[in-house]
Amino acid sequence: MARRSSADMEKTRQILLEQGILLLQESGYNATGIQEIATSAQIPKGSFYNYFSSKEDFAAAVIRYYASKSLAEWLGFLKEAAANDDPRQVLYSSFLAATEKYRCVTLKKGCLLGTLAAEISEVSEVCRFALQESISEFKTVLSEQLLLGQQTGAVRKDIEAQRLADFIWDSWQGSLLRMKVIKSVDPVQENLEIVFNNLLKP
């Protein structure tokens, strides 16, 4: 059989990662097997190991892939909202835009980073580090925006931007959890309203 081109390899790797997002969101890490991952990408089980050395290695790659896609999407929302002069409103709008994608879907999957944080942190150190790094990337952007808000007077200054970023990330993730439980985006919107219209106000 002819050796597969690197473009073909890259395409299959991409399909595996995309299918990985769906499988990990649907069944979680423990209940997803390599056979199932391979089947979903229409490759033989043995070929899986041409791409990833183990399920753990695969899951860590899915985490990083999902995080970089989501971060790019959120940076897009931030850019769109930047016409507004108030950095607090810019951030608020970007979070509301990120919430919109959950509104019209029946299955409210929430954020894969939060879903896996609940399950994977005790099972795999490799995945835990991938989660930790991915979450840090989001919080770096969040913290920069908050600092900008503090400099322009739009955001309270008595709590450091980094601590506010931690708090906002956590409460956002918590509200996404409750969104899944009650099958409604209301918890997320109410959370954002309290954060941006009350907590962050100077």
Binding site for a second copy (CB under 8 A): 26-28, 30-31, 107-110, 114-115, 117-119, 121-122, 128, 131-132, 135, 158-159, 163-164, 166-167, 169-175, 177-178, 180-183, 187, 190-191, 194, 198-199
Q: Residues with Cβ < 8 Å from 132, sequence gap 6 or more?
A: none
Residues 147 and 129 sit within 8 Å (Cβ to Cβ): no
Which is closer to a second copy, CB of 9 or CB of 118? Answer: 118
For the bound state, the minimum distance from the C-beta of residue 67 to a second copy, rounded and expressed in Å, comes to: 12
Which is closer to a second copy, CB of 20 or CB of 110? Answer: 110
Which is closer to a second copy, CB of 75 or CB of 194? Answer: 194
Helices (H), 29-124: 34-40, 55-81, 87-103, 112-120
Q: Distance between CA 6 and CA 142 in Å, rounded?
A: 36
Residues 156 and 202 sit within 8 Å (Cβ to Cβ): yes
For the bound state, the minimum distance from the C-beta of residue 59 to a second copy, rounded and expressed in Å, comes to: 13
Which is closer to a second copy, CB of 12 or CB of 20? Answer: 20
For the bound state, the minimum distance from the C-beta of residue 31 to a second copy, rounded and expressed in Å, comes to: 3
Which conformational region is residue 153 in: left (phi greater than 0), alpha (psi within -120 to 50 degrees), or beta? left
Helices (H), 82-183: 87-103, 112-120, 125-152, 161-182
Which is closer to a second copy, CB of 54 or CB of 121? Answer: 121
Which is closer to a second copy, CB of 51 or CB of 110? Answer: 110
For the bound state, the minimum distance from the C-beta of residue 155 to a second copy, rounded and expressed in Å, comes to: 13
For the bound state, the minimum distance from the C-beta of residue 138 to a second copy, rounded and expressed in Å, comes to: 12
For the bound state, the minimum distance from the C-beta of residue 77 to a second copy, rounded and expressed in Å, comes to: 20
Q: Residues with Cβ < 8 Å from 34, sequence gap 6 or more?
A: 45, 48, 55, 58
Q: Distance between CA 94 and CA 198 in Å, rounded?
A: 17
